[in-house]
Amino acid sequence: MLDAFSRAVVSADSSTSPIGSDKINELKSFVAEGNKRLDAVNAIASNASCIVSDAIAGMICENTGLIQAGGNCYPNRRMAACLRDGEIVLRYVTYALLAGDASVLDDRCLNGLKETYTALGVPATSTVRAVQIMKASSTAHITNTNTEAQAGSSKFRQMAVADGDCSSLASEAAGYFDRVISALS
Partner 1 sequence: MKSVVTTVVTAADAAGRFPSTSDLESVQGSLQRAAARMEAAEKLAGNLDAVAQEGYDACIKKYSYLNNEGEANSTQTFKDKCLRDIKHYLRLVNYCLVVGGTGPLDEWGIAGQREVYKALNLPTAPYVAALSFIRTRGCAPRDMSAQALTEYNALLDYVINSLS
Q: Which residues are annotated as a binding site for (2R,3E)-phycocyanobilin?
A: 35, 39, 72, 77, 82-88
| Minimum separation from the CB atom of position 125 to partner 1 (A) | 27
Q: Quickly count helices (H) and strands (E) in the chain.
A: 10, 0
For partner 1, the closer CB: 67 or 108: 108
In terms of C-beta density within 10 A (0-12 exposed, 13-18 middle, 19 or more buried), how is residue 17 classed?
exposed
Asked if residue 164 binds partner 1 (CB under 8 A), the reply is no
Asked if residue 3 binds partner 1 (CB under 8 A), the reply is yes
Q: Is the dihedral of CA 136, 137, 143, 148 positive or negative?
A: positive
Q: Which residues contact 123 (CB under 8 A, 6 or more apart)?
A: 72
Asked if residue 36 binds partner 1 (CB under 8 A), the reply is no
Q: Is the dihedral of CA 108, 114, 116, 121 positive or negative?
A: positive
Give the interface segment with partner 1, choosing from 61-69, 96-104, 130-138, 169-177 (CB under 8 A): 96-104
CA–CA gap between residue 69 and residue 25 (Å, rounded): 57
Asked if residue 118 binds partner 1 (CB under 8 A), the reply is no
Asked if residue 34 binds partner 1 (CB under 8 A), the reply is yes
Residues that bind partner 1 (CB under 8 A): 1-3, 5-6, 8-10, 12-13, 16-21, 24, 27-28, 31, 34-35, 38, 41-42, 44-45, 48, 91, 94-95, 98-100, 104, 108
